[in-house]
């Protein structure tokens, strides 16, 4: 499904790249560019730069670079078309994709619109309406003040059939497709949520896509006569997929990036509890187990994932798949050991410091499981220790890495006072004969063997390849006169055009970058048509400002050109020497030429004749190269 180039350009031009990136990392204005912590790698000092006018970003740490579209692709894990669509949506541009896609897109924005209005309506209802009194009391009793209610945009669905449907006045189809309501048996629009405190669930950019609703405790008569689940969530819809959505990611992402880790809870109140306990980098799955899609989403933000479930849930969650995801997505999964039976939401109310500590002292997933198995066993008798070791070994056997397994074997040998060699034999047996109790899982375990570490992943994406360490790239990017000259060529083209020549660039990538700038009307066009290495260099020099003039040193154009010319001429003279020694060029010719060039080289340093000498030397270099 292609989007015409001119529409892509239109979307790019309409996108405020600083606002876009600011949703993931706080940017500060430094001179003409913007700078902040890189959203693609963990760092403590800002090495990420954005040039707002050209619409490029570049990281001096991990060399990530690109424009608004590649940023969205990397962050949201979207393909090109979806990334453009998302940006078009933000910028209010209607793409003329084929009719069906257009309809689909319109449908989505209608649903998002309805959801936003519903969230606002419910929120105001909670803040102001008399019938929301008990809800406000309940929230206060949980320690949620007005700030918390406003930060998380909590709402109140009144105890009525159709209060929202009546207030919103959206078409029935929108009401039911968004999950906000449905058409009842008598053909009337009816609300989906009734008499519940509501937690809006947003996409990472903060647009509400669904709601989670909690009933108030002790609602007397009604609760007894019509028992209802404590929590009720929006159904999946065209704008809401449980497996791809994490509650509060939109609020937590700055904290996650700053911290380099994300705390994953089970419930909305757990997340809010974490925020209140000084851990504002928590999210929750929305009524579903942690799925691989969640990892795909999270690894954009942090490399360490802390599970903060109540202990039983954590022990049973996903198990062997967690190791697979750890490897595949290069993240570490650790578990916060919450004191007996408590969940983060409760703990935040009773002992917020304990919650923060449990997160800080989170243990590797396997360690957590082994500890729990041993804690549940009787280690005071030989039989008890053997049983506990055997049980723990089953957990150890699921880990895919033999080095890791062996460390746990030694640990178990110690703690259960069993011979390590015996445990290793037992472990080998367990590995070759997976437990038969759950044949489905055993089969799945084999089929889902973790892929090799360098698994191919959308290698068609030039942006991704920019992330990989590339030794050639590093030379081209190393600070020096070449990079300075390119910065000047981008930021002060009029001062550079007749002074800098491609021949002055020793590095082939820098040279191609310079030629690309000469050949195109805008940096953007140059980047578009360039190879990934060259594009990367161009983006880098676009986000950086050239050196400023200095009363002592004069205009940087002069000093940069001088340094470049001197370097190029010295290289050329050395080559000339080799050529003459090998007899390609007669000695007298070389001697005359060399003498003249050396004279110009001396003049280069003098302020009166420097410019002239520099121009002559550049001409000489160019002629030499052209073979004149
Ligand atoms: Zn970076």
Concatenated DSSP letters of 20-89:
HHHTTS-EEEETTEEEE--SSS--SS--EEEETTTTEEEETTT--EEEHHHHHHHHHT--HHHHHHHHHH
**Selection from 214, 89, 93, 83 nearest residue 154 by Cα:** 214
**Cα torsion 534, 538, 539, 544: sign:** positive
Tell how strand 246-247 and strand 282-285 pair up. antiparallel
- In the reported structure, the alpha carbon of residue 534 is separated from the centroid of ligand 1 by a whole-number distance in angstroms of 18
> Would you state the pLDDT for residue 548?
75
Q: What gap in Å lies between CA 314 and CA 600, rounded to an integer?
A: 75
- Bridge pairing between strands 56-59 and 48-51: antiparallel
Q: What pLDDT shows up at residue 449?
A: 32
Spell out a b/e string for 426-463, using b for 16 or more CB atoms within 10 Å of the CB, else e.
bbeebeeebeeeeeeeeeebeeeeeeeeeeeeeeebeb
Of 209, 111, 117, the residue nearest 167 (C-alpha): 117
> DSSP characters for 374-426?
HHHS-TTSHHHHHHHHHHHHHHHHT-S-HHHHHHHHHHHHHHHT--HHHHHHH
Question: Please, are residues 377 and 385 in contact by the beta-carbon 8 Å criterion?
Answer: yes
Cα separations in angstroms, 271 against 104, 251, 329: 33, 10, 24
Q: How many CA atoms lie within 13 A of 446 on its CB side?
A: 10
User: What is the distance in A from the centroid of ligand 1 to the CA of 42?
Assistant: 7
Chain centroid, CA 579 distance in Å: 54
User: Ligand 1 center to residue 276 CA distance, Å?
Assistant: 30
pTM for this model (two decimals): 0.56
How close is the Cα of 121 to the center of ligand 1, in Å?
40
Q: How many residues does the chain have?
A: 628
pLDDT at 162: 93
* Ligand 1 center–CA 60 separation, angstroms: 7
Distance (angstroms) between ligand 1 centre and the Cα of 61 equals 5
The pair of three-digit structure tokens given for residue 569, joined into one six-digit string = 């001429």
Residues forming beta bridges with residue 197, ordered by sequence position: 156, 214
The answer to whether residues 314 and 321 touch, using CB atoms and an 8 Å cutoff, is no
pLDDT tens digits, 557-602: 888 888 899 889 988 888 887 777 777 667 777 777 888 888 888 8
Ligand 1 centre and the CA of 47: distance in Å? 7
CA of 475 to the centre of ligand 1 (A): 18
- As a whole number of angstroms, the distance between CA 624 and CA 117 comes to 70
The Cα–Cα gap between 358 and 273 comes to 13
Residue 48 CA to ligand 1 centre (angstroms): 6
Q: How far is the CA of 472 from the centre of ligand 1 (A)?
A: 18
Ligand 1 mean position, distance from CA 470 (Å): 14
Assigned token pair, 175: 């009401």
Q: What is the pLDDT of residue 313?
A: 61
209 and 236 Cβ atoms separated by less than 8 Å: no
Give pLDDT, residue 383.
Answer: 87
pLDDT at 443: 35
Query: For 86-134, what is each residue's pLDDT tens digit?
Result: 898 888 888 776 555 667 778 888 999 999 999 999 999 999 999 999 9
Q: Which two tokens stand for residue 446?
A: 């084999």
Looking at residue 312, its pLDDT comes to 61
Burial of 400 (0-12, 13-18, 19+ CB in 10 A): middle
Q: Which distant-in-sequence residues (6+ apart) come within 8 Å of 463 by Cβ?
A: 64, 65, 66, 70, 73, 74
What stretches in the chain show pLDDT beneath 50? 221, 223-224, 437-473
Residues 502, 516 contacting (CB under 8 angstroms): no
Q: In what order do the strands lie in the sheet with 261-265?
A: 246-247, 282-285, 261-265, 304-307, 332-335, 363-364
264 closest CA partner among 254, 274, 255, 276? 274
In 10 A of CB 144, how many CB atoms?
A: 20
Q: What angle do CA 78, 26, 54 make, to 5 degrees?
A: 65
Ion ligand 1: protein residues whose beta carbon lies under 5 Å: 38, 40-41, 59, 61-62, 64
């Amino acid at each position: 499904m292609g989007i015409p180039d001119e529409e892509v350009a239109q979307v790019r031009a309409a996108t405020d790249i600083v606002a876009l990136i600011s949703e993931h990392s706080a940017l500060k204005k430094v001179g003409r560019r913007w700078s902040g912590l890189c959203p693609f790698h963990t760092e403590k000092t800002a090495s990420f730069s954005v040039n707002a006018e050209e619409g490029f970003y570049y990281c001096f740490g991990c060399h990530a670079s690109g424009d608004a579209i590649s940023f969205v692709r990397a962050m949201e894990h979207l393909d090109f078309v979806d990334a453009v669509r998302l940006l078009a949506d933000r910028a209010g541009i209607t793409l003329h994709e084929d009719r069906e896609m257009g309809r689909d897109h319109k449908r989505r924005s209608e649903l998002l619109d309805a959801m936003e209005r519903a969230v606002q309506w419910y929120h105001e209802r909670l803040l102001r309406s008399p019938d929301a009194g008990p809800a406000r009391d309940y929230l206060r009793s949980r320690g949620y003040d007005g700030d918390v209610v406003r930060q998380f945009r909590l709402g109140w669905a009144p105890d009525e059939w159709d209060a929202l449907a009546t207030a919103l006045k959206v078409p029935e189809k929108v009401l039911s497709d968004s999950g906000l309501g449905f058409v009842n048996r008598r053909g009337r629009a009816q609300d989906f949520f009734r008499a519940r405190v509501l937690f809006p669930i947003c996409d990472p950019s903060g647009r509400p896509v669904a709601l989670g609703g909690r009933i108030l405790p002790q609602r007397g008569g009604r609760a007894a006569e019509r028992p209802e689940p404590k929590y009720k969530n929006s159904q999946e819809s065209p704008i809401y997929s449980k497996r791809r959505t994490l509650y509060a990611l939109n609020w937590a992402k700055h904290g996650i990036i700053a911290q380099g880790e994300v705390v994953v809870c089970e419930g909305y109140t757990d997340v809010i509890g974490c925020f209140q306990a000084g851990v504002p980098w928590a999210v929750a799955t929305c009524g579903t187990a942690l799925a691989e899609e969640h990892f795909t989403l999270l690894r954009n933000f942090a490399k360490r994932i802390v599970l903060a479930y109540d202990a039983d849930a954590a022990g049973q969650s996903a198990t062997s798949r967690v190791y697979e995801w750890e490897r595949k997505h290069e993240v570490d999964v650790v578990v916060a050991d919450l004191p007996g039976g408590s969940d983060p939401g409760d703990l935040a109310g009773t002992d917020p410091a304990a919650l923060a500590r449990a997160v800080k002292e989170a243990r590797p997933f396997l360690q957590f499981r082994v500890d729990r198995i041993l804690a549940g066993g009787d280690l005071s008798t030989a039989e008890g220790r053997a049983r506990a070791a055997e049980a723990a070994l089953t957990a150890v056997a699921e880990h895919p890495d033999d080095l890791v397994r062996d460390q746990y074997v030694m640990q178990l040998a110690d703690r259960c006072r069993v011979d390590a060699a015996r445990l290793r034999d037992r472990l080998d047996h367990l590995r070759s004969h997976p437990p038969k109790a759950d044949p489905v899982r055993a089969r799945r375990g084999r089929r889902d063997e973790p892929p090799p570490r360098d698994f191919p992943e959308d290698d068609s994406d030039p942006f991704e390849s920019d992330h990989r360490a590339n030794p050639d790239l590093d030379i081209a990017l190393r600070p020096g006169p070449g990079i300075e000259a390119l910065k000047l060529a981008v930021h002060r083209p009029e001062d550079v055009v007749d002074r800098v020549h491609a021949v002055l660039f020793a590095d082939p990538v820098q040279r191609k970058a310079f030629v690309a700038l000469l050949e195109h009307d805008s940096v953007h066009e140059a980047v578009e048509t360039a190879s990934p290495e060259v594009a990367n260099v161009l983006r880098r020099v676009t986000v950086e400002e050239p050196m400023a003039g200095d009363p002592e040193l004069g205009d940087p154009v002069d000093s940069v050109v001088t340094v470049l010319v001197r370097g190029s001429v010295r290289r050329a003279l050395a080559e000339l020497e080799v050529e003459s020694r090998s007899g390609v060029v007669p000695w007298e010719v070389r001697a005359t030429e060399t003498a003249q060039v050396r004279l110009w080289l001396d003049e280069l340093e003098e302020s009166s004749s420097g410019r002239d000498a520099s121009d002559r030397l550049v001409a000489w270099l160019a002629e030499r190269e052209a073979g004149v």
